[in-house]
Structure 1
Amino acid sequence: MVTSFKEQEFDIAVKEMECPDVSGWELFVETHGIKVFRYYRVQSKLYEYKVFGITNMDADKCALVYMDIAYRKTWDSYVKELTYLRKGDPEVIYWEVAYPWPMSNRDYVYLRQAKTMIKNEKNVYAILGRSAKPGELEERETVDPKRGVIRVDDYLQSMVIADNGKGTSRIYMHYYDNPKGHIPAVVVNWAAKTGVASFLTTLEEACRSYRLE
């Protein structure tokens, strides 16, 4: 049975944005006001990432763009398929990511839930996501593995977006996934180095083009 994210999980994510905890983490990239830290997971030989910074995005619009999966299909070139399997709290989403040839595509069945808070009279949006666990979903909320597509079942992503005034926002992102397969860890880690930062750049461009209906 799908269970909602705990209140404490949202509070921890927001606190992390306000008071970053990077003890034991390595500063990986710093560019355009964004700092990316990484932490090496010995078991998987992969890194997880924390991202902090200020962006030229209106927080309200950024949260809408981040949550709008139909719109994401128009600006994220890596999306092969993205659809709801369940709407509610939390949502269950199916996501297939297009990988460059000759690598196989990856897909995800994951939970996502958002919460809006008010801090210092400004909006703060916390959006939590993680892989669905075995036995957690009803049959109608699942997608059978596809031939030639590798299922990622070790994924998490937290995103906090806070109004920073004058059309800017503070952001915090915590990200990890294990794409499995026969991709060398060094390649996965290189892709993450470029991908985490470029995602925020692309998200900012998508926000500028977003039109409220």
Structure 2
Amino acid sequence: MGELFQESEFTDAFQELDEPHVDGWEFFTESHGLKIYRKLNQTSGLYQYKVYGTLTEIDAETCSQVYMDLDYRKTWDSYVYELYEKEVSGKKLIYWSVKFPKPMSYRDYVYKRELRTFEKDGKDVYVILAQSIQDKENFSEKWMTIRVEDYHQTVAFTNDPSGGVQVFMQYYDDPKGMIPTWLVNWASKTAVPAFLDQMKSSCQKYPDYLKTKNK
């Protein structure tokens, strides 16, 4: 399978764990021990976000497994309407349909995703990159669903010396449609830390899920 991302994209991500790159970014808020920065996209009027912090009582390897396990995500993410992986020209791509509150239309995504593991200072670092692509031939657009064409997410996990998991996340999503930019920005403020809270809870429950699945 050909490379989905460049090596430099992964190394840039895990370096953020120890050396946050926030020049040109605005400190936005702090939630549950996570510091959130934002930067305005002048074209869309929407913000992209960077998140730094530590999630306690879980480990980095489990976080990476939970993030990559699409079947498990269907059990804990109530916004998932449809989610699956499909191989196209030797590369695995993901289709993700998301429930939006009525009267808004659902959104769907087609994106590439890759996990790589690095060793840094004797610790494993797990870096996951995801980025939308355009492929209407293999993933046809659906009625009453808006295709999101500008989405990217970077996540890096490593075990924190004091316990728990050190996390870096960068996120941007343009849901398009008639949603006011202020509403999207307001929703993102709560959605980003809420997602990491969900991740923590799901990581804690993952061993039990695997036991049930493998019975």
TM-score norm. by structure 2 comes to 0.91
1:106/1:2 Cα in 2 relative to 1: closer, same or farther (>3 Å)?
Answer: farther
8 Å CA contact retained: 2:27, 2:38: yes
Letter of the 1:122 counterpart: K
8 Å CA contact retained: 2:110, 2:134: no
Question: Per-residue deviation at 1:16?
Answer: 1.8
The number of residues matched between the two structures is: 208
**Corresponding residue for residue 93 of structure 1:** 94
Question: Per-residue deviation at 1:132?
Answer: 1.1
Letter of the 1:18 counterpart: D
Matched, 1:72 2:65: no
8 Å CA contact retained: 2:53, 2:167: yes
**Corresponding residue for residue 5 of structure 1:** 5
1:167/1:61 Cα in 2 relative to 1: closer, same or farther (>3 Å)?
Answer: farther
Question: Per-residue deviation at 1:91?
Answer: 3.0
1:88/1:143 Cα in 2 relative to 1: closer, same or farther (>3 Å)?
Answer: closer
Question: Per-residue deviation at 1:18?
Answer: 1.7
CA distance in structure 2 between the partners assigned to 1:16 and 1:74 by the alignment: 31
**Corresponding residue for residue 165 of structure 2:** 169
**Corresponding residue for residue 30 of structure 2:** 30
**Corresponding residue for residue 145 of structure 1:** 141
Question: Per-residue deviation at 1:88?
Answer: 10
Question: Per-residue deviation at 1:2?
Answer: 6.8
Gaps of 5+ in 1: none
**Corresponding residue for residue 40 of structure 1:** 40
CA RMSD across the alignment = 2.0
Q: Share of identical aligned residues, percent?
A: 46
Question: Per-residue deviation at 1:119?
Answer: 0.9
8 Å CA contact retained: 1:89, 1:113: no
Letter of the 1:84 counterpart: E
**Corresponding residue for residue 113 of structure 2:** 112
Gaps of 5+ in 2: none
**Corresponding residue for residue 182 of structure 1:** 178
Cα-to-partner distance string for 1:131-176 (whole Å, 9 max, x where unaligned)? 11469xxx5xx21000000000101000000111465110000100
Cα-to-partner distance string for 1:91-141 (whole Å, 9 max, x where unaligned)? 310000100000000000000001011111111000001011469xxx5xx
Letter of the 2:153 counterpart: Q
8 Å CA contact retained: 1:5, 1:90: no
CA distance in structure 1 between the partners assigned to 2:6 and 2:38 by the alignment: 25
8 Å CA contact retained: 1:99, 1:105: yes
8 Å CA contact retained: 2:4, 2:113: no
8 Å CA contact retained: 1:163, 1:170: yes
Question: Per-residue deviation at 1:85?
Answer: 1.3
1:199/1:168 Cα in 2 relative to 1: closer, same or farther (>3 Å)?
Answer: same
CA distance in structure 1 between the partners assigned to 2:183 and 2:34 by the alignment: 23
Where do 4+ consecutive residues of structure 1 move more than 4 Å? 87-90
CA distance in structure 1 between the partners assigned to 2:9 and 2:89 by the alignment: 18
Cα-to-partner distance string for 1:22-58 (whole Å, 9 max, x where unaligned)? 1111111112220010001111000000000011121
1:158/1:89 Cα in 2 relative to 1: closer, same or farther (>3 Å)?
Answer: farther
CA distance in structure 1 between the partners assigned to 2:32 and 2:90 by the alignment: 34
TM-score norm. by structure 1 comes to 0.92
